Amino acid sequence: MDKPPIDKTREEVEAERKAKRAAKQERKKAALEKQKSDGFDQENQHKNKNSSSEQSKYTNANEPAKIPKPKTNLPKAVPKKQLTQKTEASKKTINIKNKENNIDKKVEEVKDIKSVNLAKKPLGTMTHKVKLFNHLYTDSVSLLMENKLKINSGKVHPSFIKLGVQMRNCVVAGSNARCLAFLYALRQTISDFLTPEHKQFSRSFEEHLGPAIDHLMACRPFSVSMSNAHKYIMWHVKRLPTNISDGHAKDKLENIINNYIYVQIHMAGKAICIAAQNKIADEDVILTYGYSSLIERILTEAYSNNKKFSVIVVDSAPWYEGRQLLHRLVHNNIKCTYVLLSATSFIMTRATKVLLGAHALLANGYVMGRAGSSQIALIAKYFNVPVLVCCETYKFTERVQTDSIVFNELGNENDVMPKEQWLNNRYLIPLCLRYDVTTSDLVTAVVTEIAILPCTSVPVVLRVRPNDYGILNK
């Protein structure tokens, strides 16, 4: 039978707890005293040994030497706690030393690797690319090798070889100039082309023209005007009859090219000049940016028609194209002022109108022009100065773009600064963008050969334009 539990009072329970705590404290004190006594005994033994050795040193030489007692090889009893503490301390010191040695070895290896890499990679082989525009860079070395192979194989006509060199060195610059040079080279290629036996003229000419187009694209990317002209010509080449002779085909294509140059470039420019002159009044101050052959033509013809006005030419690095426009306007006795892009906000207060050229007009109404045009339009908008963009309709494109990052063209970095200043500096990356995009709300109107239109009318022009102008609505 189990005994029934005895109920304890609160005072008895607290007394038992206090007794247990006191017993624990006494045990701890006894353990500490034992450790201290063991330490004192070891110190006394060590001191006795040292004193005995000192006394033996100072003993008289006349005293007979004491014969030492033979030592027994029996080991002395050492407490277990001391042995474990010593072994653990020795292990810790050994591990710390090993870690330090390993760290020193790794540091030396890293230094050796860096020195080897620096020796292998000279400073001139650093890649200077901006990651945001990484898709715009091209491997110029491989492209030049491919171009040399094409040129040496005789697949590229000499007129295209000459044009490629001129475009790469910016001898031929500007949207209209590049398009005209391309059409002249294409006309020369057509006149010198001979159709192989048992082949059609259209298909064989397309195969013959392919390497020449690739060569031009490798020298410098096509402008919108060049790509539209190329599409227009190839649209007519594909529609030539299969049984047509070489002479008739060449005459027909040459007439098409001449008609395109006359209508789309020369006559369109003349119509734009007439429309723009009506917007120029006496005592006007016209502000323009960079160089545009169409703007030069408008200003010179307006001055020859006894319009009294002055011109402010705004220019910027690295090409300073505005100097060419300045020289030509001054040669025609037009009063001019020349400033840099950084002084636009200061000089805009004197301007009454802004005339800008364009590289292309996009389908969403945005204007693609030389880098800096958007800044001019933004400052003019702030000062309530009207901005007129002069552009032919053959530069209209169905492409849609809202920034200057997705599609652009890179210039030569050496034009920005000398090569010696940035080639060996890994923290300096020169960037040279050729074009920027101006939003439609910053442009007052676009002067075309059709009429003076808002920027948002570009899709309408692309839809209404006749099919004869290329691969448009069918």
Residue 148's pLDDT is: 63
Q: How confident is the model over 216-251, as pLDDT tens digits?
A: 998 899 999 999 999 999 999 999 998 889 999 999
Residues of the chain above pLDDT 70, percent: 75
Residue 58's pLDDT is: 45
Nearest to 175, CA basis, from 226, 229, 230, 234:
226
Structure token pair of residue 104? 């020193």
**SS3 assignment, position 322:** helix
All domains of the chain, ordered by start, with CATH? 139-266 (1.20.120), 275-464 (3.40.50.10470)
**All residues at 6 or more sequence positions from 455 whose CB lies less than 8 Å from its CB, including other chains:** 361, 365, 366, 367, 389, 440, 443, 445, 446
Cis peptide before 318 (omega within 30 of 0): yes
- Categorize the per-residue pLDDT at 469 as very low, low, confident or very high, splitting at 50, 70 and 90: very low
DSSP state of 287: E
Q: Name the more confident of 228 and 50.
A: 228
Alpha-carbon distance of 155 to 181, in angstroms, equals 19
Nearest to 401, CA basis, from 361, 441, 371, 370:
361
Main-chain phi, psi angles of 437, to 5 degrees: -120, 130
What order of strands is seen across the sheet that includes strand 435-438?
A: 360-361, 367-370, 435-438
Residue 375's pLDDT is: 96
Main-chain phi, psi angles of 349, to 5 degrees: -65, -20
Q: How confident is the model over 120-167, as pLDDT tens digits?
A: 444 444 578 888 888 888 866 556 566 665 666 678 899 999 999 999
Is 0.75 topped by the overall pTM?
no
Which residues face 368 on adjacent strands? 360, 437
Residue 346's pLDDT is: 95
Structure token pair of residue 221? 């990317």
- Cα distances (angstroms) measured from residue 312 to each of 73, 276, 298, 371, 444: 111, 17, 14, 18, 19
Alpha-carbon distance of 190 to 188, in angstroms, equals 5
